[in-house]
Chain A
Amino acid sequence: MRYLPLDASDREAMLARIGVPDISALFADIPADKRIEGLLDMPLAKSEMAVEREMAAIAGRSLAAGSVPFFLGAGAYRRHIPATVDHLIQRSEFLTSYTPYQPEIAQGTLQVLFEFQTQVAALTGMEVANASMYDGSTACGEAMLMAHRLTRRGRAVISGGLHPQYADVCATLARMAGDAIVRLPPDLTASEDIAAAIDGATSCVIVQSPDFFGNPRDLAPIAAAAHAHGALVIAVFTDPVALGALRSPGEMDADIAVGEGQGIGNALSFGGPYLGLFATRARNVRQMPGRLAGETVDAAGRRSFVLTLSTREQHIRRDKATSNICTNSGLCALAFSIHLTLLGAAGLRRLANVNHANAVRLAERLAAIPGVEVVNSHFFNEFTLRTPRPAAALIEALAERGVIGGLPVSRLLPGAGLDDCIVVASTETNSEDDRAAFARALADCLG
């Protein structure tokens, strides 16, 4: 049997059939500068030992989060994850199972999802949560589309405090759906007037708290303004631990709460897989995307679990489904649930307090350096520094001194006039030594 069954004439026939001139036309959606033309510049063969040696040398050039003082956040957070979490999620019943397509036979999986949903609903102050989405940004985009279905309007107002990558995902989905978005300019100090941007055509306002720059926001007045116009409020968070210290989206009258769940139970892992959290009011559940585990009783009256309201989903509703998502981040959700269960309510509050206290100590140290200013009047565990030199170069200089000092805002918001700003995060993993090393290195760079 031939291993490569297609020849040039097969390819030409297939391209002609679908009406494109050549194979490169199929990749038109990928920007040209993101494509690799020709072959990668790699040697054809090396011994296994030589490859290992070379890869180890390349890896050695990285500053790994766990090996240096690390203050990078902006949507992903380094946490201490108890060993129990890793031990339990590696049980093969959990590790090897895929999203249940014959759900009721997988009672353990469904129970895990049910417990997870219960935790997410409690954490966000909402009535119902789904079994998770892919990550915080896609959960945010799905929430926007859900608001469009609920309000039958197609214009979302996006706060200038929303994580820029979340806003980009919303913009992409809105473009594909033929909807409009109003993206307010980057809002360093939480001083934007969101209410003024809401009118009778607005489907929803998307507001992050704490926002991208670290400012906690009171959503209640925004919710009042939105609801007066028949619009919904989507509350976004990028670190679930913040909900251990701040008022929940539900308490502040949000309609949908979405966020990134990585910060509980899940490692940084170079950016994924992560865990989208998604919760809403019970009255909106029909328009919610994603899987939903429910509790019921079996024929013998025993407590059991089912996937419920599946008629919203793609495998039944096809093109009219609430979402294209037909799965969830099951293992990441399990890790989240185990970690949160180990913490308990009191433990989560204590963890949040430690995060905040560490961030306050760090901010005090850094603000004492001449020329360095902490922009925020309030923050949880993340704040923005204004520095007397361009931030991007400063972060490189800090890295040369063995400190990962945060995210230069210009990296995600180039041209926004915030080139002297760094978003700095602190978690329970940062020690007094880490803070001293950061302050020393920063003073050294600026000296």
Chain B
Amino acid sequence: MSQIRYTKEHEYVRVEGGEGVVGITEYAQQQLGDVVFAEAPPIGKALKRGDPAAVVESVKAASDVFAPVAGEVVAVNSEVESTPGLINEDALGRGWLFRIKLADPAELGALMDESAYADYLKTLG
């Protein structure tokens, strides 16, 4: 059973075993508009929580994607690098960016769950 957690910067991390799948949220992709470019971090890179990890670029803006939790990058979604529009089509599914080996699962506690994130979005109007 996987659990999903969110950041205030609109990244998600879906926990599967000891690993987390990271991407940007449905809200983030709507705000960005058509994504034309996505760059994942190099495999093997050790990230601290909050490190700039990936880049997502739309016709309107370029945004850094920050590591929601610390850990080592173990896989990247090469499909989304060649077809960035997957982020618009399926942000939480095929639009994932990279997979991270969790250094400290306790960090997840600092992130929002689905309902907390939904409440947070309401405060953004």
Contacts and interface: CB of A to CB of B under 8 A. Distances in A.
B64 A311 contact: no
A311 B42 contact: no
A286 B37 contact: yes
B62 interface: yes
A311 B37 CA distance: 10
B26 interface: no
A279 to B, nearest CB: 21
Interface string B52-63: 100101000110
A58 interface: no
Contacts of A316: 61-62
Given A286-B37, A311-B57, A152 B42 contact: yes
Contacts of B39: 286
A152 B40 CA distance: 13
Classify chain A: how many residues form its interface, as a range: under 10
A320 B37 contact: no
Interface in A274-304: 286
A320 B64 contact: yes
A438 B39 CA distance: 58
Interface residues of B, number: 9
B37 to A, nearest CB: 6
B104 to A, nearest CB: 26
A361 interface: no
Contacts of A152: 42
Contacts of B62: 311, 316-317, 320
Contacts of B42: 152
A72 B90 CA distance: 62
Main secondary structure of the interface of A (DSSP, over half): helix
A152 B57 CA distance: 20
A317 B61 CA distance: 9
A311 B55 CA distance: 11
Nearest to A317: B62
Nearest to A311: B62
Interface in A211-264: none
Interface string A381-423: 0000000000000000000000000000000000000000000
Interface in B46-96: 52, 55, 57, 61-62, 64
A152 B73 CA distance: 15
B55 to A, nearest CB: 8
A317 B64 CA distance: 10
A200 to B, nearest CB: 15
A320 B64 CA distance: 9
A152 B42 CA distance: 8
Contacts of A317: 62
A208 to B, nearest CB: 31
A29 B122 CA distance: 53
Nearest to A318: B62
Contacts of A286: 37, 39
B1 to A, nearest CB: 36
A316 B60 CA distance: 10
A40 to B, nearest CB: 48
A65 B55 CA distance: 51
A317 B57 CA distance: 10
Contacts of A311: 37, 57, 61-62
A345 to B, nearest CB: 34
A394 B32 CA distance: 66
A320 B55 CA distance: 10
Contacts of A320: 52, 55, 62, 64
A286 B37 CA distance: 9
Nearest to A321: B62
A317 B55 CA distance: 11
A175 B52 CA distance: 24
A317 B39 CA distance: 14
Nearest to B57: A311
A96 B96 CA distance: 48
Nearest to B41: A152
Contacts of B61: 311, 316
Nearest to A316: B62
B87 to A, nearest CB: 15
B38 to A, nearest CB: 11
Given A286-B39, A316-B61, A320-B55, 8 more contacts: A152-B42, A311-B37, A311-B61, A311-B62, A316-B62, A317-B62, A320-B62, A320-B64
User: Which 10 pairs of residues, A with B, have the shortest CB-CB distance?
Assistant: A311-B62, A311-B57, A152-B42, A317-B62, A316-B62, A286-B37, A320-B64, A311-B61, A311-B37, A316-B61
Interface of A: 152, 286, 311, 316-317, 320
14 contacts: A152-B42, A286-B37, A286-B39, A311-B37, A311-B57, A311-B61, A311-B62, A316-B61, A316-B62, A317-B62, A320-B52, A320-B55, A320-B62, A320-B64
